[in-house]
Amino acid sequence: MRVCVLGGGVIGVSTAYALARDGHEVTLVERHADVARETSHANGGQLSYSYVAPLADPSVLPKLPQWLFSRDAALRFVPRLDPHQWRWCAAFLRACTRARSRATTAELLGLGFLSQRLMHEVVEREALSFDYVRNGKLVVYRDQEGFEGARHQAEYQAKLGCVQRALDGAACVALEPALAHIGGEIVGGIHTPGEEAADCDQFTRCLARAAQRDGVNLQLATEFSGLRTKGLRVLAAQTSQGDIEADAFVVCLGFQSQPMLASLGVHVPVYPLKGYSLTLPNANAQGAPRVSVTDAHHKVVYAPLGERLRIAGMVDLTGMNPHADDARIALLTRQARETFPNAGDYDAIQTWTGMRPATPDSKPVIGATHFRNLWLNTGHGALGFTLALGSAQLLADLLAERELPIDGDAFAPGR
Ligand SMILES: Cc1cc2nc3c(=O)[nH]c(=O)nc-3n(C[C@H](O)[C@H](O)[C@H](O)COP(=O)(O)OP(=O)(O)OC[C@H]3O[C@@H](n4cnc5c(N)ncnc54)[C@H](O)[C@@H]3O)c2cc1C
């Protein structure tokens, strides 16, 4: 089958790779001169297969006023005159029930475990260089209530196959000595030894080369502008380099998926959640963490990437504008410096901002639309790197009408 994949982030490239391995003739369309130039470029770098609990949870409801009124909150909401934003928020609030949060956790864990297995297979099969480490992840809590909630979550996830253990503050510092500076504040932590970290940008670029070797036609510097349709069939993708005809089309346009498909009446419940990252070059071996760390209090993640330390955080529900807010970068830098003061030269940090393509229930949208040959693989929110390979496999299995390795209905558009 001729398949046209739209978007060259980690999701589009993983999809193209999986489809080419299935024997399809694949063209990938990306507007930049290389892949992974947008949200997949400098994200948190955590392959966080066991930390997939959705943002939509009853525990966030008391925090909503803080999101609206505090400029220093980890999550910030600025209401816009935008019906799409309001619809997204209403669906988010509807998803904030204990039952839905638990069901979503179980479904995302299934996709996470599949992705982890596939990552191990890809690493085994391909010569990829992407600062990949299996270093485990430690989430530390500075308040008793947060830690208790995390312990209950870990107990629930243990029944679903997660291997995690709760540690007290001293054990957290013993595991990751770079935490010593805030050791007195740490109430406890959850350690997941099987978690991994890597550079998403390098991964995506290496996988794109492997996909090219398998026959994928990478059509870079090519702007996609719309779809030519006839009835309920898509005939061609319209691009700056001319029309691309294919038998099937897969939309992997990240946070742009929604506006690009709205005119066709295809509803994609994706809204951007802006975030920021800092990259500390030449991280200090003593002062920077070697285990991936999440500071639950500030909602900031730290991942070692070779000689570098990647720091990421902030969730801004502030609209489609991808520009950086200097005050948010300054806040993230201050929090990182206070947590790991000896991690390296903070004056040398590189800053970045990206737009997480988020759905209200934190689950990606994978499957067919009402156009018979138009498929979606998008909406991976804060977990796109983690879930990329499993999502690509699911899409390829659906397209081939094969038996699915996990429950596909959980991720279907219009679920
Ligand atoms: C601060 C931050 C930290 C994060 N940390 C993590 C983490 O630790 N672990 C994790 O798993 N995930 C993390 N994520 C989430 C992850 O980065 C995203 O889920 C993932 O990158 C989404 O990939 P994508 O391919 O869907 O989107 P993108 O990477 O944005 O790819 C979409 C592509 O489509 C292209 N495109 C769009 N419109 C057009 C057009 N009209 N024509 C042609 N091309 C077009 C874009 O140029 C882009 O390359 C983080 C995100 C942020 C912002």
Nearest to 318 by CA among 274, 361, 358, 275: 274
- The answer regarding whether domain 54-82+130-195+271-358 maps to CATH 3.30.9.10 reads yes
Q: Is 277 annotated as a binding residue?
A: no
Residue 295, φ and ψ in degrees, nearest 5:
-95, 100
Q: Is 254 annotated as a binding residue?
A: no
pLDDT of residue 146: 94
Q: What is the Å distance from ligand 1's center to 70 Cα?
A: 27
Residue 359, ligand 1, Cβ within 6 A = no
SS3 label, residue 409: helix
Q: What is the Å distance from ligand 1's center to 272 Cα?
A: 10
Q: Is 288 annotated as a binding residue?
A: no
Tell the residue nearest (CA) to atom 14 of ligand 1: 382
Position in ligand 1 atom list of the atom nearest CA 385: 11
Residue 43, ligand 1, Cβ within 6 A = yes
Domain ranges of the chain: 54-82+130-195+271-358
Residue 3, ligand 1, Cβ within 6 A = no
| Dihedral-angle region of residue 51 (phi above 0 means left; psi in -120 to 50 means alpha; beta otherwise) | beta
State the maximum Cα–Cα separation within the chain, in Å, rounded to a whole number: 65
Task: Indicate if the alpha-carbon torsion angle 11, 17, 18, 22 is positive or negative.
Answer: positive
Cα(175)–Cα(291) distance, rounded to whole angstroms?
Answer: 8
Q: What is the Å distance from ligand 1's center to 207 Cα?
A: 15
Q: Is 365 annotated as a binding residue?
A: no
Residue 10, ligand 1, Cβ within 6 A = yes
Q: Is 3 annotated as a binding residue?
A: yes
Q: What is the Å distance from ligand 1's center to 146 Cα?
A: 29
Encode the chain (415 residues) as per-residue pLDDT tens digits: 999 999 999 999 999 999 999 999 999 999 999 999 999 999 999 999 999 999 999 998 998 888 888 888 999 998 999 999 999 999 999 999 999 999 999 999 999 999 999 999 999 999 899 999 999 999 999 999 999 999 999 999 999 999 999 999 999 999 999 999 999 999 999 999 999 999 999 999 999 999 999 999 999 999 999 999 999 999 999 999 999 999 999 999 999 999 999 989 999 999 999 999 999 999 998 899 999 999 999 999 999 999 999 999 999 999 999 999 999 999 999 999 999 999 999 999 999 999 999 999 999 999 999 999 999 999 999 999 999 999 999 999 999 999 999 999 999 998 8
Tell the residue nearest (CA) to atom 12 of ligand 1: 383
Q: What is the Å distance from ligand 1's center to 40 Cα?
A: 4
Q: Is 13 annotated as a binding residue?
A: yes
Q: What is the Å distance from ligand 1's center to 182 Cα?
A: 32
pLDDT of residue 41: 98
Cα(57)–Cα(213) distance, rounded to whole angstroms?
Answer: 43
Cα(10)–Cα(40) distance, rounded to whole angstroms?
Answer: 6
